[in-house]
């Protein structure tokens, strides 16, 4: 078996802050990907080739981790000792955090997601809100009925952006968390994700997205494509970073709304507003509603923090057909994002990306594949290029579609925790005048 193309890959995690345990149940795998944490902090990952052996013993696990992360672990230990002599860091006071979960006919995924949401350990008041984007079906309502603390509303306009915006308009929290129904989270996730909001300049926090499983070729290929995670190193971007970029602003490297949190007030900021409903899953453009939201936040001078320890587990698509559709959609959406920044924001840096850096990147990847420095299929690279060419027409179709369905009206923040809406919202059957009256009982829907 070729080492570079072997799948399935077992996914395991280990905490090095306590005694390590052998990894077992690996007899059907040639490789195991181990995600390493130290207490509540996510450090990184390492691949271990077990070649069908049922167990990776502790000595081999220690060897693999130390070879890759020994200098980093020593540095972290030194920092931890130094922090013992520092004054306590400020902590975000308890507040209301709204968690918005759009769903479309994935009841099993939704059940796993909600189980992890209600298990969160946090002093904050959680307002968990499911937005059913297929209200003609009872599948989501039947799941939510088993979670009394979860409320549900409906959004009949198809598309992830419509669903997220409807959730934002009904959210009760000062902080709004975006995630997906195919995500599960560790019980410390909310605490890690909202912690950076103790700094007043922070408007958004993005977390890491790890694969829940790597059982199929498609799931492994998606990780090779880039996955949804953005690495194990914390960083942040602000208005200065935005303005000093010479190429297009790479907001796609800042995270994704599968794992993101925002101050609710930013959606009432006219310089930011709601999510662009011509972008995203379920529209002809296919994606990039989140990258454009990050763009608007940075352009308005806000700060975005990437915190890898605020991680979630994502269930990637399992079949190659679904992966091809996903990659094609991502490629359309990437071009649509740049055209949007060009046409709506007058940002000519998009032209550098579209006509220089993007073609060069594809050429470099193709050469790497031909020289066998990569096992990423040429067929998928060609599919990405075709998706790029389809991007302009997809954006035009999406804009026309959003106008036809009726865009969500802007939000006006009158005062803390009170949100009013300017004007009617066409086709938004979920909206009610008093958002607090949306049913909190099992199966309740604000329709």
Residue 82: per-residue pLDDT: 52
**Fold of the 96-323+406-437 domain:** Spore Coat Polysaccharide Biosynthesis Protein SpsA; Chain A (3.90.550)
Q: Which residues contact 251 (CB under 8 A, 6 or more apart)?
A: 291, 292, 294, 295, 298
Angle at Cα 206 formed by Cα 303 and Cα 65, nearest 5°? 120
Place of tokens 């800042």: 254
- Strands 183-184, 235-237: pairing is unpaired
Query: Hey, what's the torsion of the CAs at 260, 261, 262, 267, to 10 degrees?
Result: 60
Helix (H, G, I), strand (E, B), or coil: what is residue 380? helix
Residue 79: per-residue pLDDT: 56
In the chain, residues under CATH classification 3.90.550.10 are: 96-323+406-437
Q: Give this prediction's pTM.
A: 0.88
CA–CA separation, 6 vs 348, rounded Å?
42
Q: Compute mean pLDDT per 10 residues along the chain, 447 residues long, and list them.
A: 66 91 94 92 92 92 87 60 62 94 97 98 97 95 97 97 97 97 97 96 97 96 93 95 94 96 97 97 96 98 97 97 97 98 97 96 95 92 97 98 95 52 34 31 30
Length of the chain: 447
Phi/psi at 100 (5° precision): -100, 125
Residue 160: per-residue pLDDT: 97
Render the burial of 186-195: b for 16+ CB within 10 Å, e for the rest.
Answer: bebbbbbbbb
Q: How many CB atoms lie within 10 A of CB 405?
A: 18
Residue 69: per-residue pLDDT: 85
């Amino acid at each position: 078996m070729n080492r570079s193309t072997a799948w399935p890959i077992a996914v395991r995690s280990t905490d090095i802050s306590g005694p390590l345990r052998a990894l077992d149940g690996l007899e059907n795998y040639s490789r195991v990907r181990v995600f390493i944490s130290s207490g509540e902090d996510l450090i990184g990952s390492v691949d271990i080739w077990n070649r069908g052996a049922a167990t990776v013993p502790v000595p081999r696990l220690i060897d693999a981790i130390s070879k890759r992360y020994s200098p980093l672990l020593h540095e972290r230990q030194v920092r931890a000792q130094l922090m013992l002599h520092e004054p306590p860091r400020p902590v975000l006071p308890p507040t209301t955090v709204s968690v918005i979960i759009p769903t479309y006919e994935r009841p099993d995924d939704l059940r796993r997601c909600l189980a992890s949401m209600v298990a969160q350990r946090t002093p904050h008041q959680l307002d968990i809100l499911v937005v059913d984007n297929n209200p003609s079906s009872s599948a989501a309502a039947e799941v939510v009925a088993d979670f009394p603390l979860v409320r549900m509303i409906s959004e009949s306009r198809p598309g992830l952006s419509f669903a997220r915006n409807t959730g934002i308009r009904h959210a009760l929290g000062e902080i709004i968390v975006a995630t997906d129904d195919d995500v599960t989270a560790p019980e410390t996730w909310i605490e890690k994700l909202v912690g950076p909001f103790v700094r007043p300049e922070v408007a958004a926090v993005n977390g890491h997205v790890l694969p829940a499983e790597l059982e199929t070729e498609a799931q492994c290929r998606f990780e090779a494509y880039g996955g949804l995670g953005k690495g194990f190193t914390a960083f942040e971007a602000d208005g200065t970073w935005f303005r000093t970029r010479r190429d297009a602003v790479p907001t796609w490297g800042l995270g994704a709304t599968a794992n993101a949190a925002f101050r609710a007030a930013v959606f009432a900021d006219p310089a930011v507003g709601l999510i662009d409903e011509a972008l995203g899953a379920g529209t002809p453009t296919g994606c990039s509603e989140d990258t454009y939201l990050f763009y608007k936040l940075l352009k308005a001078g806000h700060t975005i923090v990437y915190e890898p320890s605020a991680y979630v587990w994502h269930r990637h698509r399992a079949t190659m057909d679904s992966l091809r559709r996903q990659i094609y959609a991502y490629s359309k959406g990437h071009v649509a994002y740049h055209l949007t920044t060009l046409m709506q924001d007058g940002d000519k840096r998009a032209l550098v990306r579209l006509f220089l850096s993007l073609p060069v990147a594809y050429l470099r990847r193709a050469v790497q594949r031909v020289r066998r420095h990569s096992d990423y299929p040429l067929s998928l690279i060609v599919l990405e290029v075709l998706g790029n060419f389809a991007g302009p027409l997809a954006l035009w179709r999406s804009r026309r579609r959003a106008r036809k369905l009726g865009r969500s009206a802007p939000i006006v923040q009158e005062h803390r925790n009170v949100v009013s809406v300017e004007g009617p919202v066409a086709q938004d059957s979920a909206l009610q005048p008093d958002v607090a009256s949306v049913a909190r009982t099992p199966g309740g829907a604000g329709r």
